Amino acid sequence: MEKDLYTLAKDKALEYFEKAHIVLTEKEKNEVEVADFGLGDLYQTGLESVVYINTDNCCAKEMVLFPYQTCPEHIHPPIGDHYPGKEETFRVRMGTVYLYVEGDPVSNPKAIIPKNSEKFYTVFHEITLQAGEQYTLYPGTKHWFQAGSEGAVVSEFSTHCYDEYDIFTNPAIKRIPDIIN
Amino acid sequence: MEKDLYTLAKDKALEYFEKAHIVLTEKEKNEVEVADFGLGDLYQTGLESVVYINTDNCCAKEMVLFPYQTCPEHIHPPIGDHYPGKEETFRVRMGTVYLYVEGDPVSNPKAIIPKNSEKFYTVFHEITLQAGEQYTLYPGTKHWFQAGSEGAVVSEFSTHCYDEYDIFTNPAIKRIPDIIN
Ligand SMILES: [Zn+2]
Ligand SMILES: [Zn+2]
């Protein structure tokens, strides 16, 4: 990702955090992570986040999704003998999020499936989360999510986050962003 | 705790959550926990909280401390062979919190030690947390905390929460509140 785009997206994310009254330190503001998942189409497929804590046991972060921005379909696999895969709870703080998991599919998803990536979206059990609502994903549940028209701010509470092990349905995705400084 | 006091404290806690722009569902608003730790002096020693999630692995909650209200000194012990004790991160969302842990004591703590309970406060390494600041406690660290003059709203991210196993320095404390309905 080009530095200019990073800076633009970071500043936009900070506006969402401010609107949601999420207080961040200057250090956190400077370290907002912007991920385009290596697809080079950030506003369609991307995620902005601030990681508060990620110990061996607990992870908590705050995320921003711009309007219709999608965190693409993935699963958190078991790692080694002792880690069954990440468990995560999403709690929406502002806006609306459409979350899709395995299970009975809806016929008309409210989210707009990212263009030219339709075949990499395979689960369509729809959960709509408004501000104040939350959903817990246990290990081994394929999922993806998208913000509604106003964008969204979402807290994530989870077990240790090993982003580098996530398995995306789209094999072209690279989770760890290259930021050109 | 008398029902009237519970209702009063619950409504007051909801005002703090609103001021901090924490969005809660109606169900969560109705289930605010008010703990006086069995000491019958809620505004001095007490804690108001909403538990978002408490699975085998993760717990997240939102807490309110009224001005100078204290969560009394305690430790989270190991339980069985597999649980080393609760690990917890406190992130202040609004107000100021004075957190005390084991280590180099301060000579003039900023918190006001609860009256007639002085002997049950033994750790005085002081950490001051403003909105946007946080601190992580690893298992086996004795701690207590108090809000400053404006009260505080604090998020807690932790491993599974077994309140009933907490060990308080004051043996008169009962963690699980009796609410008279
Ligand atoms: Zn995930
Ligand atoms: Zn504690």
State residue B174's pLDDT score.
Answer: 80
| B119/chain A closest Cα distance in angstroms | 33
Lookup: tokens for B79: 């339980």
Contact A58 B94 (CB under 8 A): no
Q: Does A96 touch chain B (CB under 8 A)?
A: no
Q: Does A29 touch chain B (CB under 8 A)?
A: no
Contact A58 B58 (CB under 8 A): yes
Contact A21 B23 (CB under 8 A): no
Helix/strand/coil for B142: coil
ipTM above 0.90, yes or no: yes
- Kindly report the backbone phi and psi dihedral angles of residue B14, in degrees, each rounded to the nearest multiple of 5, phi listed first: -65, -35
Q: Is A60 left (phi over 0), alpha (psi -120 to 50) or beta?
A: beta
- Kindly report the backbone phi and psi dihedral angles of residue A129, in degrees, each rounded to the nearest multiple of 5, phi listed first: -120, 120
State residue B51's pLDDT score.
Answer: 97
Contact A94 B134 (CB under 8 A): no
Lookup: tokens for B50: 């909403």
Q: Does A27 touch chain B (CB under 8 A)?
A: no
Q: Where are the domains of chain A?
A: 3-168
State residue B158's pLDDT score.
Answer: 96
Among chain B residues, CA nearest to A57: B159
Is there a contact between B45 and B117 (Cβ–Cβ < 8 Å)?
A: yes
Q: What are the helix (H) ranges across chain A? A: 3-19, 26-30
Give strand ranges (E) for chain A. Answer: 33-35, 47-54, 59-65, 70-75, 88-101, 125-130, 134-137, 143-158, 167-168
Spatial distance between the Cα atoms of A113 and B79, rounded to a whole number of angstroms: 46
Give strand ranges (E) for chain B. Answer: 33-35, 47-54, 59-65, 70-75, 88-101, 125-130, 134-137, 143-158, 167-168
Spatial distance between the Cα atoms of A51 and A9, rounded to a whole number of angstroms: 16
pLDDT per residue as tens digits for the range A10-36: 999 999 999 999 999 999 999 999 999
Contact A23 B94 (CB under 8 A): yes
Q: Does A162 touch chain B (CB under 8 A)?
A: no
Spatial distance between the Cα atoms of B114 and B96, rounded to a whole number of angstroms: 18
**For residue B139, what is the DSSP state?**
T
Q: Residue B47 pLDDT > 50, yes or no?
A: yes
Report CA(A30)–ligand 1 centroid distance (Å).
24
Spatial distance between the Cα atoms of B34 and B21, rounded to a whole number of angstroms: 20
Contact A23 B53 (CB under 8 A): no
Confidence of residue B179 (pLDDT cuts 50, 70, 90): low
State residue A178's pLDDT score.
Answer: 57
Q: Residue B80 pLDDT > 60, yes or no?
A: yes
pLDDT per residue as tens digits for the range B14-25: 999 999 999 999
Q: Residue B177 pLDDT > 90, yes or no?
A: no
Residue A146 makes CB contacts below 8 A (sequence gap 6+) with: A65, A68, A69, A70, A71, A97, A98, A111, A112
Q: Residue B172 pLDDT > 90, yes or no?
A: yes
Residue B47 Cα distances to A152, B63, B68, B133, angstroms: 30, 7, 11, 20
Please give the CATH number for the structural domain made up of B3-168. Answer: 2.60.120.10
Question: Which site among B17, B29, B53, B96 would you substitute to test the A interface, given the most A Cβ atoms closer than 10 Å to its Cβ?
Answer: B53
Parallel, antiparallel, or unpaired: how do β-strands B33-35 and B125-130 relate?
Answer: unpaired
Is there a contact between B175 and B168 (Cβ–Cβ < 8 Å)?
A: yes
Helix/strand/coil for A8: helix
Confidence of residue A164 (pLDDT cuts 50, 70, 90): confident
Q: Residue B181 pLDDT > 50, yes or no?
A: no
Q: Residue B66 pLDDT > 60, yes or no?
A: yes
Is there a contact between B137 and B159 (Cβ–Cβ < 8 Å)?
A: no
Residue A128, strand partner residues: A98
Q: What is the mean pLDDT of residues A60-78?
A: 97
Residue B7 makes CB contacts below 8 A (sequence gap 6+) with: none
| Burial class of residue B108 (count of CB atoms within 10 Å of its CB; 0-12, 13-18, 19+) | exposed
Confidence of residue A1 (pLDDT cuts 50, 70, 90): confident
State residue A81's pLDDT score.
Answer: 85
Q: Does B51 touch chain A (CB under 8 A)?
A: no
pLDDT per residue as tens digits for the range B143-154: 999 999 999 999
Helix/strand/coil for A152: strand
Percent of chain B whose pLDDT exceeds 70: 96
Q: If you average pLDDT over every residue of chain A, what do you get?
A: 94
Give strand ranges (E) for B12-124. Answer: 33-35, 47-54, 59-65, 70-75, 88-101
Residue A159 makes CB contacts below 8 A (sequence gap 6+) with: A57, A58, A59, A83, A86, A87, A88, B57, B58
More confident residue, B163 or A93: A93
Contact B87 A57 (CB under 8 A): yes
State residue A179's pLDDT score.
Answer: 56
